[in-house]
Amino acid sequence: MVGQRHVVRTLSNAIESGQVHHAYLFVGSRGTGKTSMAKILAASLNCENGGPTLTPCGTCESCRSIAAGTSVDVIEMDAASNRSVDDIRGLRDRVAFAPTAGSWKVYILDEAHMLTKEAWNAFLKTLEEPPPNTIFILATTEAHKVMPTIADRCQRFDFQRPSIEQLSEVIDRVAAAESIGLDPPAVSMIARSAAGSFRDALGTLDQLVAYSGKTIALDDVLELLGAADADLLFGVIDAVVDGDPKGVLDSVETMAASGRDPTRFARDLLGHLRVLLVTQTTGEIPEAFAVTAADGARLSAQAQAIGPVTLIRTIDELAGALGSIREGDEARLAVEVALLKAARPDLDPSSEGLMRRIERLERDGPGSGEKPPAVGLVDLPDPEPAGDQPADDAAAGSAIAPAEAADPPPSESAPAGASAGGIPEPDLDREKLTRIWPTVLDSLRARGSGPAASLFEEARPLGFEAGVVTVGFPPESAFNRRNAEKPERRAQLTEALLAVTGERLEIAYESLDADSGDGAGSPPGGVVGEDEFVEKVKSVFNAEEVI
């Protein structure tokens, strides 16, 4: 039995100690091994070679008949088609007979939640006081539909959906036993398409053998399943990130022209987006996906390129499209509309669409002509001459927050990157720090420090001197500054600066004076003027200026 270790361990201990319960409730989604576990338990109890045993032989008459479903002592009943009071009364009458061939009589009720209330009531007394050596195993995908009075009398086990690694293990094992040649990417694609079901994974493998014989390649899997390959998935998300509606429609057209199912395509896209979400949050590519991603660097780059708001919104749009498809909407149109809304936030009038337009404006708006990651709105209207750093900035750069007052001066402690001791001073000025600041915040988020990044979103770098970066907080962000003073927050910002600049720098904090040139209203150097910025806002939000 692959997976379900908690179930295996508990049942094993029960068999070894002779304390097998008379009723079990197996709960889990389809294809997770509920019925298989019930049959294994029955075989362990009735094996002719040493039963009860944890290692049924699989070769005796009892084991073979249980596996084939012909054992007179193991009765499997589909509750979906035998759900009436009369059906349960018939079962109740048979329960009175002792086991014939084995030592235990096992009743397996599949889809138990389908029984009527009257049938449950007729079954309750038997479940409470079963004959000796009789076990009832109720298997269901919807435990909430099982009457509480029934569930209370059973030991419940929740079967977990298998991981891609566990599915791959089973596929590899079956392929080896049946002499089937499988490429590793093909194994992973079959496992991903099974959506957490052993039964679906093995069913797909059986189909592929009929389709392509004993040697199966990734192209065979893609052709049979209509699944999207990695290049197509990357291309669609690249188009969404670039705000390219034509690229989105071209990708969907490529998918349709290849004969792939739009619904399957949407599910594959959701799987790809989940990997981007995990990669963006943890900074690491999930191992389960690494075997199918031909280019790990491309995956990491795409996770950094797509903004968090866009990523979550694209997931929501595709999930909504799948819901619409289930309700009868045309599949291709639903997927196209979802992706267009993801690529064009101006088509979405909701508050989420507004947030994504702001995110895109921050990314593309006033700056150096590059497309840096999100820049806080307080930074946008902030021009400043590109010349030498003002004298007050230089003074600010030497200021150290009260929490650091007891520390030795930078020149004495010689922090990493300082000019003391012959170490070269990093080439960082205020303009360069302002330009890389959004990347520093993104580095914080990528390391799973989203709360830390939010503390610094309204802050701005003021200057750099002797290995110390001075960060200013506006007056209204006093709470954020107090939290930023915590040692763990300082350490997180230091690590983020190290990742971006390659230097381990000291951090000092300072409050911005609302009347000084460092306030939220003063523009940074090298950015466009106010009129051009207003035009950019009007373009992004499809707005009009009201005089």
Residue reference for tokens 């593309």: 364
CATH code for position 451: 3.30.300.180
Does 365 reside within a domain? no
Maximum Cα interatomic distance, the chain, rounded to a whole number of Å: 98
Domain with 210, as residue range(s), is 164-225
C-alpha 230/C-alpha 60 separation (Å) is 48
Report if pTM > 0.85: no
Q: How many CB atoms lie within 10 A of CB 237?
A: 26
Q: Please, what sign has the CA dihedral across residues 185, 190, 194, 197? A: negative
Whether the CB-CB separation of 221 and 186 falls below 8 Å is answered with yes
What angle is formed at CA 279 by the lines to CA 278 and CA 283, rounded to 5 degrees?
120
Burial class (CB in 10 A: 0-12, 13-18, 19+), 200: middle
Q: What's residue 482's pLDDT?
A: 83
296-305 and 430-446 helices, crossing angle to 10°: 110
User: Could you list the mean pLDDT of each consecutive 10-residue stretch along the chain, which spans 547 residues?
Assistant: 88 92 92 91 90 88 90 87 83 83 88 88 86 91 89 92 86 91 85 84 91 87 77 89 89 85 88 87 69 64 86 90 89 91 71 57 49 36 41 37 37 38 62 84 73 80 86 82 84 84 85 56 44 65 67
Q: Based on the fold, state whether residues 425 and 461 are members of the same structural domain.
A: yes
Amino acid present at 102: G
Q: Based on the fold, state whether residues 199 and 324 are members of the same structural domain.
A: no
- Could you tell me which of 423, 421, 400 has the C-alpha nearest to residue 412? 421
Helix/strand/coil for 293: coil
Does 356 reside within a domain? no
C-alpha 542/C-alpha 546 separation (Å) is 13
Q: What's residue 40's pLDDT?
A: 93
Cα-based distances in Å from 363 to 91, 228, 367, 438, 457:
68, 30, 9, 9, 14
Q: How many CB atoms lie within 10 A of CB 330?
A: 12
Does 328 reside within a domain? yes
Domain boundary among 125, 142, 158: 158
Residue reference for tokens 């909504």: 320
Q: What's residue 26's pLDDT?
A: 94
Residue 25 pairs in a beta bridge with 138, 156
- Could you tell me which of 102, 125, 99, 127 has the C-alpha nearest to residue 112? 127
Q: Based on the fold, state whether residues 347 and 382 are members of the same structural domain.
A: no
Q: Based on the fold, state whether residues 304 and 249 are members of the same structural domain.
A: yes
Residue 110 pairs in a beta bridge with 78
What total of structural domains would you count in the chain?
4
C-alpha 374/C-alpha 359 separation (Å) is 6
Q: Based on the fold, state whether residues 449 and 522 are members of the same structural domain.
A: yes
Q: Based on the fold, state whether residues 287 and 434 are members of the same structural domain.
A: no
Which ranges constitute the DSSP H helices of 400-529? 410-413, 430-446, 450-456, 478-484, 487-501
C-alpha 124/C-alpha 153 separation (Å) is 9
Domain boundary among 158, 180, 203: 158
C-alpha 350/C-alpha 475 separation (Å) is 32
Q: What's residue 42's pLDDT?
A: 93
Q: Based on the fold, state whether residues 215 and 309 are members of the same structural domain.
A: no
- DSSP secondary structure string, 186-251? HHHHHHHHTTS-HHHHHHHHHHHHHHHTTEE-HHHHHHHHTPPPHHHHHHHHHHHHTT-HHHHHHH
| The total number of residues written for the chain in this structure | 547
C-alpha 545/C-alpha 542 separation (Å) is 10
Does 482 reside within a domain? yes
Q: How many CB atoms lie within 10 A of CB 360?
A: 21
Q: What's residue 173's pLDDT?
A: 92
C-alpha 218/C-alpha 190 separation (Å) is 9
- Could you tell me which of 234, 208, 381, 379 has the C-alpha nearest to residue 299? 234
Q: What's residue 371's pLDDT?
A: 38
| Tokens (6 digits) for 290 | 């690494």
C-alpha 94/C-alpha 88 separation (Å) is 10
Q: What's residue 295's pLDDT?
A: 61
CATH code for position 251: 1.20.272.10
CATH code for position 213: 1.10.8.60
Domain boundary among 158, 175, 193: 158
Q: Based on the fold, state whether residues 129 and 171 are members of the same structural domain.
A: no
Structure letter (DSSP) for residue 421: G
Q: Based on the fold, state whether residues 290 and 423 are members of the same structural domain.
A: no
Q: Based on the fold, state whether residues 139 and 267 are members of the same structural domain.
A: no
Torsion of CA 213, 216, 219, 221, to 10 degrees: 90
Q: Based on the fold, state whether residues 379 and 318 are members of the same structural domain.
A: no
Amino acid present at 141: T
Does 170 reside within a domain? yes
Residue 471 — φ and ψ, nearest 5°?
-115, 130
C-alpha 273/C-alpha 283 separation (Å) is 14
What angle is formed at CA 153 by the lines to CA 150 and CA 157, rounded to 5 degrees?
95
Distance of CA 346 to the CA centre of its chain: 27
Residue 23 pairs in a beta bridge with 136
Does 299 reside within a domain? yes
Does 188 reside within a domain? yes
Q: What's residue 283's pLDDT?
A: 81
Does 89 reside within a domain? yes
Q: What's residue 539's pLDDT?
A: 64
Q: Based on the fold, state whether residues 148 and 196 are members of the same structural domain.
A: no
